[in-house]
Amino acid sequence: MRFTTTEPAYRFRQGTRPLLISMPHVGTHLPPALAARLTPEARQVPDTDWHLERLYEVADELGASVLVATHSRYVIDLNRPPDGSSLYPGQSVTGLCPLDSFDDTPLYATAADQPGVAEVAARRTAIWQPYHAQLAAELARLRAAHGVAMLWDAHSIRSVLPRFFDGKLPDLNLGTAEGAACAPELAGELLAIAQGAPGFSAVLNGRFKGGHITRHYGQPTQGIHAVQLEMTQCSYMQEALPFDYLPERAQRIQPTLRRLLDAALVFAEGAKKNS
């Protein structure tokens, strides 16, 4: 089957300080011809990282650049390697062009509706490659302009998902690819801030250690530090349909988000001065 889309692959706002916030899973767009092949449940795109632009509204005030996906992860997952290899070998994961949901239910109405090799390649060319080209270009610009670049990969997920983890997930899941994606002193400071958030739990490199974006672009020896934050959706929104944003709940976690981003910026700007 052919794949076409009329929507751009991303939205981008350029900032003034050495921080890029990437939001690869907030997109909800499904091209109509593709949506027609999905189940009614899948057309609700329940596995979206809902409302992160609103949650991270402080980004513009901080002078961060912001890169936001437009298409649903059901079209193509921007946080997976382009060859579709598993991020967590031996564990249950969803793929580059997923065939099933987080609840392990089929996304496509029939097996014949699933994408073939050529369609996967077309989706990669139309959406994955432009997003990553912009991400790489902005990191290069930030490093050239500031001497260092900080990448913050922003995610959220339902707090209870038996397919992926037992029990309830900690609220703030920081991932640095087991320390390979950013300086250890930064990771330690971020964890201390997250663990100090009243009423929330936090972990570093637990079930979520950072996806392809964190692992691929985080090169601290080259002046690019990357951190992924996977947040429980119950921290700021309704986890079931209609997936409403809950402002009063969000306001409890937003000060911690700001402290985390502030710490990342202070580290980056300090690293430039000390280089």
Burial 59-91 (b: 16+ CB within 10 A, else e): beebebbbbbbbbbbbbbbbbbebeeeebeeee
Residue 29 belongs to some domain of the structure: yes
Radius of gyration (C-alpha) of the chain in whole angstroms? 18
Number of separate domains in the chain: 1
For residue 196, tell me if it sits in a domain: yes
Which pLDDT value is given to residue 85? 77
d(CA 7, CA 35) in angstroms, rounded, equals 14
In this structure, are strands 65-69 and 10-13 parallel, antiparallel, or unpaired? antiparallel
Strand order in the sheet with 65-69: 10-13, 65-69, 19-23, 149-157, 224-232, 172-175, 202-204
Q: Do 149 and 225 touch, CB atoms closer than 8 A?
A: yes
Domain containing residue 231: CATH number: 3.40.630.40
Q: Is 146 in contact with 273 (CB distance < 8 Å)?
A: no
Residues 135 and 67: their CA atoms lie apart, in Å, by: 7
Q: For residue 274, what pLDDT is reported?
A: 53
pLDDT for 178 equals: 96
Q: What is the DSSP letter of 139?
A: H
Look at residue 5 and tell me if it is in a domain: no
Q: Residue 84 has what pLDDT?
A: 81
Domain assignment present for 115:
yes
pLDDT tens string for the chain (275 positions)? 789 999 999 999 999 999 999 999 999 999 999 999 999 999 999 999 999 999 999 999 999 999 999 999 999 999 999 998 777 677 767 789 999 999 999 999 999 999 999 999 999 999 999 999 999 999 999 999 999 999 999 999 999 999 999 999 999 999 999 999 999 999 999 999 999 999 999 999 999 999 999 999 999 999 999 999 999 999 999 999 999 999 999 999 999 999 999 999 999 998 765 55
Query: Which residues pair with residue 154 across a beta bridge?
Result: 229
Say what the pLDDT of residue 1 is. 78
Establish if 3 belongs to a structural domain: no
pLDDT at res. 271: 74
**CA atoms of 115 and 137, how far apart (whole Å):** 30
| Whether residue 242 has a cis bond before it, omega within 30° of 0 | yes
Q: Which domain holds residue 249?
A: 10-274
Amino acid at 168: K
**227 touches 175 (CB < 8 A):** yes
Burial class (CB in 10 A: 0-12, 13-18, 19+), 96: buried
- Say what the pLDDT of residue 210 is: 95
4 within domain boundaries: no
25 within some domain = yes
Query: Measured between alpha carbons, how far is 164 from 23 in angstroms, rounded to an integer?
Result: 21
In a domain, 2, yes or no: no
- Residue 202, SS3 per DSSP: strand
Q: Give the relative orientation of helices 247-274 and 129-146 as an angle to the nearest 10 degrees.
A: 50
Specify the pLDDT at position 91.
Answer: 73
